[in-house]
Amino acid sequence: MISPRRFALLRVPDLRSFRRAIVEAASSGPSPGADCAVIVPTAASAELLRPAFSDPRRPHIVTRDELYSRIHERLGGPPLLGQFDRHVLMRRAARAAAEDGLAPPFRLRPGLIGEMLSFYDELHRRARTLDSFERLVVEALEPSAEIDRGAARLLAQTRFFAAAFRDYERRAGETGMVDEHGLRRLALASEDFKPHRHVIATIPDQTADPFGLWVADIDLLGRLQGIVQLDVVATERILATGFHQRIHDLLPGIEEAMVAADSLEPVLAVPSKSDSRVFVSRDREEELADFVRDVKRRVRSGEARLTKTSRIGIVFQRPLPYLYLARNVFADARVAWRALDQLPLAAEPFGAAIDLVLTFVTGGYTRAAGVALLRSPHFRIAAEGEPVSLLDIAALDRALMDARFVGGRAALESSAARLSPGPARAARALIAAARDLDPVANGATAADQIRAIAAFLRAHDRPGPDAVAEERRLRARQAILGALDALAGAHERHDNAALDAEELAGAIRRWIESQTFSPRVGDAGIQLTDAAAARYGDFDEIRIVGLVESDWPDRSSRSIFYPSSLLNQLGWTPEADRLAAARAAFADLLQLPSARVSASAFMLEDDGLVALSAFVEEIDGARLRVVAEDPIAPGRVFVHEALTDSAEIDADVLGQVVTGAAGEWLAARRSRTPASDRRYHGSVGSYAPDSHSVSAVEQYLACPFKYYAANVLDLQEEREEQAGLTSLERGLFVHEVLREFFARWQQSGRGAITVDNLTAAVEEFRRIAEARLETLPEADRGLERNHLLGSAAASGLAERAFAFELERRTPIVERLLEHRLEGRFMIRSGARSGEVQLRGKADRIDVLPDRSIRVIDYKLRKAPASRRALQLPIYAAAATQALAKERGGEWRLAEAGYVAFGERQGFVRLGGRQGDEGKVAEAIESGQALFLDTVEAIERGEFPVTPDEPFMCRFCAFPSVCRKDYVGDE
């Protein structure tokens, strides 16, 4: 018998009404208290909503996963399959399908097994059967499979999936346990199941919210016997994105009720001296610091209150790195804060440390992996009970490097016998570690392999340096060891065949990367929360942070198996619908607080520029009353400022008087160069180099500090190791090949390259290139050969280097290759002139019959931007003067340009098209003027960190000495 039930859609205008509607629905429903369940997206959402219920009989506030756990508890019956049981069963089913002749078009790695399981779950959550999945996809792919290799691969993949999924269901049924999908079937079939009588869904479906309910969830709640009332609470903006129609389709006959709007409306705070509606900081850390400065400024002026009960929130899309940055920013500001959010287990130090163990095993006990393991502060690895020092480890590292040790326990034992006591002690510790971990690679069963890793972690445990670090370590350690034990048990129950070490490591890494935990930080002060949870909070003021395109909207996780066109047929969410819902949720967020809302973004992340989110458009659309704020006035807010910027301690900031040794330290800090001093921003006083390199002056234009590091401090560039030739090495190599070719071509008495001698020129270039390629490592030759000589897919450098000569048909008397230009030269720009001591090397200067020259510069990529291109104008001026001295008479510039192999046209002429002599003269004059200005700045000793293109900072060769934090300062 079907019991009477009521479906209600509560339509709310904004998030303040949203929170109130949830409370009123729970208190006025058929079963207030324990028999009412409120479904929220996350545990943090539940924490923010709980204080809204003053009645002691408050409802259960649960996430989707917790709802299923409660259904299982109330239903009883078979136990639930754990995630490790399901992974092992799916792995076994996938291998069985492949062995039966339905091999997938990819190698079965642990990550793909996990993705298969996720895809299987999503099919069922979207109410698709395996039969309908196979039928729909096969019908779409089969007609074109014979002529389309991509369609053939997807067809083979689909048949493999269908077979593996059916085998998984069979094996899961044989265990006597159930997964989420089996639990739904049992709950719907049970006649005496007693669920919560009243359920309030505060999240929409998956189309409108990544934390939303699936079609199968809403179907379950709509059909489940015992649920008397189901309320769905949604804002008008979310309903307008299509959810209104979808919920009516899923719950036919649902009633609608309008909830009254809240009379309060926040004001929008915006920067006063900008057209932007967003406060922009340098980076994420400065973004938090600027908000703290603003709050403290308003507290001091009486505009705001900052107490332990203040209802101020910082809302982000992604918790990292904000939650980690907040630890330092808020502690430095002496401001209380609180947070409860999901953080990745892989970001915990102990979670990262286990990767050292896995790398040591899978790499075959190599030197680098072994030394990293010994150095780890998370493990205590002794040599027969004797501790190993860092000096012993460093000595072992050097000794194994000198011995060219490449790995293996036997080779390590052999090497240890020849070492002196210190490194030998470290070697014995490493041998002991390898011995303990041998069962991981050579165990008889998967359970033995996994338990060997757990045993190593337990045997070599090292406590944290303090109580806070130890508490954090124990939390991560408990999660990881519990998971290893559960994984070992799952293999014992379902598939205990030994695993390849790489596969085992991949499975463990994937599990760690997929796990999160919810640490509670603080219990009062400013609330830090993500956008999903913020909807449930009660705020007077919020600052929406990180409003950049990489964060807002949150990136969707696309399927790795099928294109969107196929998935849409299976009920997957179209991207346009997802983005519309994300915009609506952001617009709702702007109306969340009762008094004040603001938004902020940042300019730099990982040393690269970032763009504002397109959601900035929604801020104007909110039509809030705007309050413009002046830039934050200087004032001490942080402890480090109180300790450095003032002769007196600011008690409001520091909260104490500094005396004794700390006072002496403070006096030393105050004696440092103040921020107002020009030296603080890159001025070193007059600087007079012996001569000016033209390429170095160009480097100054790219970034003055880069010039300072390379040419004044004479620092070596910092380069990461990489496969193949670096850009610099390739440039030098290409220049040498071109120089040798043109030198031989000239010695043979031949001038310009023409159609008649092009074949001979190409052959000569090929011979020289092949000879030069033999000097490179064998692994690099193939790539560099294609680069120089071309392939079926693209032409080589030779053809592009000769093309501009073929177009001009100008006789060439002589080529001056890698021509040095050193000495004092007159640099002129209009009425302004100056004699400069130069040193430079022109790639090529062609001497033409009419006492004119053509200056050519080779570029592997694109021609440089005109605002910092000096070589052609300066080499042209210096070359004409040098030839006049050496050969007499007057010389003029006929043409100058770049043979740029990354440009479509190949030859980029200075001043534009050929024949426009006025443009050439203008380019020469402006280049010389820029050179004189730059030389004067160098000689004044001005070297601020002002990169011409800030995104290039991520490729800087001097990252450890550069004050990147001053990018953008004037």
- Residue range 223-248, pLDDT digits in tens: 988 899 999 999 999 999 999 999 99
- What are 822-873's pLDDT values in tens digits? 999 999 887 788 899 999 889 889 999 899 999 988 887 788 877 778 889 9
Of 221-235, 476-490, 553-567, 650-664, which one has max mean pLDDT? 221-235
- What are 488-525's pLDDT values in tens digits? 999 999 989 888 888 888 888 888 877 776 666 777 88
The per-residue pLDDT of the chain, averaged, comes to 85
| Separation of alpha carbons 19 and 593, rounded Å | 12
Q: Mean per-residue pLDDT for 531-555?
A: 93
b/e for 441-454, b at 16 or more Cβ within 10 A? bebebbbbbbbbbb
Contact residues for 600 (Cβ-Cβ < 8 A; gap 6+): 278, 279, 280, 281, 287, 290, 291, 543, 544, 545, 546, 547
**pLDDT for residue 675:** 66
Burial zone of 380 (CB within 10 Å; 0-12 exposed, 13-18 middle, 19+ buried): middle
Contact 404, 435 (CB under 8 A): no
Categorize the per-residue pLDDT at 408 as very low, low, confident or very high, splitting at 50, 70 and 90. Answer: confident
**pLDDT for residue 719:** 60
Q: How far is CA 92 from CA 98, 163, 497, 510, in A?
A: 10, 12, 10, 18
Q: Mean per-residue pLDDT for 335-349?
A: 80
Q: Can you point out the beta strands (E) in 44-144?
A: 60-62
The distance of Cα 176 from the centroid of its chain, to the nearest Å, equals 43
Categorize the per-residue pLDDT at 216 as very low, low, confident or very high, splitting at 50, 70 and 90. Answer: very high
Other CB atoms within 10 A of residue 651 CB: 10
| Separation of alpha carbons 637 and 528, rounded Å | 19
**pLDDT for residue 647:** 42
- What are 630-641's pLDDT values in tens digits? 766 556 677 666
**pLDDT for residue 146:** 87
**pLDDT for residue 635:** 62
How many residues belong to the chain? Answer: 970
pLDDT of 772 strictly over 80? yes
The pTM of this model reads 0.70
| Separation of alpha carbons 269 and 749, rounded Å | 75
Categorize the per-residue pLDDT at 262 as very low, low, confident or very high, splitting at 50, 70 and 90. Answer: confident
**pLDDT for residue 208:** 92
Contact 947, 953 (CB under 8 A): yes
Categorize the per-residue pLDDT at 571 as very low, low, confident or very high, splitting at 50, 70 and 90. Answer: confident
Range with the lowest mean pLDDT among 270-284, 312-326, 559-573, 781-795? 781-795
- What are 133-161's pLDDT values in tens digits? 999 999 999 988 888 888 899 999 999 99
- Tokens 């083979």 correspond to 156
- What are 607-618's pLDDT values in tens digits? 678 889 999 999
Helix (H, G, I), strand (E, B) or coil at 600: strand
Peptide bond into 553 cis (omega under 30): yes
Other CB atoms within 10 A of residue 789 CB: 18
Q: How far is CA 473 from CA 146, 354, 511, 526, in A?
A: 56, 12, 18, 26
Range with the lowest mean pLDDT among 472-476, 528-532, 791-795, 818-822? 791-795
Query: Strand 852-859 vs strand 832-847: parallel, antiparallel, or unpaired?
Result: antiparallel
Contact 730, 784 (CB under 8 A): yes
**pLDDT for residue 259:** 92
pLDDT of 277 strictly over 60? yes
| Separation of alpha carbons 278 and 430, rounded Å | 54
pLDDT of 798 strictly over 70? yes
| Separation of alpha carbons 964 and 967, rounded Å | 5
Q: How is 117-132 classified by DSSP, letter by letter?
A: HHHHHHHHHTT--HHH
Q: Mean per-residue pLDDT for 673-697?
A: 83
Categorize the per-residue pLDDT at 963 as very low, low, confident or very high, splitting at 50, 70 and 90. Answer: low
pLDDT of 464 strictly over 90? no
Categorize the per-residue pLDDT at 651 as very low, low, confident or very high, splitting at 50, 70 and 90. Answer: very low
Query: Residue type for 287, please?
Result: E
pLDDT of 263 strictly over 80? no
Percentage of residues in the chain having pLDDT higher than 70: 92
- What are 173-192's pLDDT values in tens digits? 999 999 999 999 999 998 88
Q: How many CA atoms lie within 13 A of 291 on its CB side?
A: 31
pLDDT of 270 strictly over 50? yes
pLDDT of 969 strictly over 50? no
What is the phi/psi pair of residue 834, to 5°? Answer: -165, 145
Categorize the per-residue pLDDT at 8 as very low, low, confident or very high, splitting at 50, 70 and 90. Answer: very high
| Separation of alpha carbons 376 and 286, rounded Å | 31
In degrees, to the nearest 5, what angle opens at C-alpha 43 toward C-alphas 39 and 48?
85
Categorize the per-residue pLDDT at 602 as very low, low, confident or very high, splitting at 50, 70 and 90. Answer: very high
Dihedral angle sign, alpha carbons of residues 463, 468, 469, 474: positive
Range with the lowest mean pLDDT among 137-146, 466-475, 739-748? 466-475
Range with the lowest mean pLDDT among 219-233, 401-415, 543-557? 401-415
Strand ranges across the sheet with 229-235: 60-62, 36-39, 198-201, 229-235, 6-12, 255-258
- What are 931-952's pLDDT values in tens digits? 999 999 999 999 988 888 776 7
